[in-house]
Amino acid sequence: MHETFLHNAPAIRFATFLAPNLYCTYEHIARYVGVKVGYPTGLSVGQSLEDFVAGQVDVGFICGLPYVRLVDSPGSPVELLAAPVLQGECYQNKPIYFSDIIVRSDSPFASFDDLGGCRWAYNQRTSHSGYNLVCSSLLEQGKTLRYFGTMIETGSHQRSLQLVLEGQADAAAIDSHVLDTLLWQNKDLELQLRVIARLGPSSIPPVVVARSLDRNLKCRLQEALITMHNDPRAADGLHEGRIDHFVAVTDADYNDIRTIFARVQAAMKA
């Protein structure tokens, strides 16, 4: 696509706060959207959601739980722009995803109910699919995180998966979008892992935009995202990241995550 930008247009600063294996996909999206709206763009790896508060990020790819916590804070600096709809029948052409419980292919564990006392790997406490949803599922069964024998915080879904593969952890909950993409990129991985349970669906990690950004520009950014799949070359880039297309979403769409988080927090304080 030929890049023609508005004269002296400032760069739109994109940042990803999600799994690193999708960086190239988000870079492709940022570049395409920039060309469509006539602005140069750059993608960085977000360090903290405080980047939004400090005005250092214009558009971000973030997990649904941090979005809910950020938008519900006083003077929230962000609002929703769009959300991806993933490839695959299980996603029902909706902006949803799952938390896939994985073990090694040779593991004796066959279901979530078998995992009592296991070595459990999770990415971080601010993750919905890796932590929040797991806590909620345990609560529904009258259990707590003490159900697991050992808890290992890894810092990322990919690291959690790696610890399971290496035998340093018995199981982990992995964002299904991340897992789908890893399996797409590495066909042999499917022989090394088994999904023994699937939690969800939940509202998928959205694309958010700085509330302070010009309203007209925000509308143009959203339009570029939700029509991106109509461009064959742009669609190919989306498909590499297992994304079919983007749709507009509302804050109410994330009430499922909001409700689960409130339930988990209340239980932890009890």
- Is residue 270's pLDDT more than 90? no
Give the tokens for residue 109.
């564990």
Query: pLDDT-based confidence at 1, cuts 50/70/90?
Result: low
pTM for this prediction: 0.93
Query: Which DSSP symbol is given to 47?
Result: -
**Domain boundary assignment for the chain:** 12-87+204-252, 96-202
pLDDT of residue 269: 83
> Are the folds of 12-87+204-252 and 96-202 the same?
yes
Q: Which of 93, 46, 51, 39 is nearest to 218 (CA)?
A: 39
The mean pLDDT of 210-219, rounded to a whole number, is 95
Quickly name the fold that domain 96-202 has.
Answer: D-Maltodextrin-Binding Protein; domain 2 (3.40.190)
Give the tokens for residue 51.
């980047």
Q: What are the distances in angstroms from CA 5 to CA 28, 36, 178, 218, 259?
A: 17, 9, 33, 17, 43
The mean pLDDT of 97-106, rounded to a whole number, is 98
pLDDT, tens digit (0-9, with 9 covering 90-100), for 173-206: 999 999 999 999 999 999 999 999 999 999 999 9
Q: Quick check: 12 and 56 in contact, CB under 8 A?
A: no
pLDDT of residue 8: 62
pLDDT, tens digit (0-9, with 9 covering 90-100), for 43-100: 999 988 889 989 999 999 999 999 999 999 998 999 999 999 999 999 999 999 999 9
Q: Which of 33, 47, 48 is nearest to 3 (CA)?
A: 33
What 30-35 contacts at long range (C-beta under 8 Å, 24+ apart), as own/partner pairs, is 30/59, 32/1, 32/224, 32/228, 32/231, 32/234, 32/237, 33/59, 33/221, 33/224, 33/225, 33/228, 34/3, 34/5, 35/1, 35/2, 35/3, 35/4
The mean pLDDT of 122-128, rounded to a whole number, is 95
The mean pLDDT of 205-219, rounded to a whole number, is 96
pLDDT, tens digit (0-9, with 9 covering 90-100), for 7-16: 566 899 999 9
The structural architecture, per CATH, of the domain 12-87+204-252 is 3-Layer(aba) Sandwich (3.40)
pLDDT, tens digit (0-9, with 9 covering 90-100), for 224-233: 999 999 999 9
Give the tokens for residue 17.
């706060």
Higher pLDDT, 236 or 49: 236
pLDDT, tens digit (0-9, with 9 covering 90-100), for 129-171: 999 999 999 999 999 889 999 999 999 999 999 999 999 999 9
pLDDT of residue 177: 98
- Mean residue pLDDT of the chain comes to 94
Give the tokens for residue 74.
């006083």
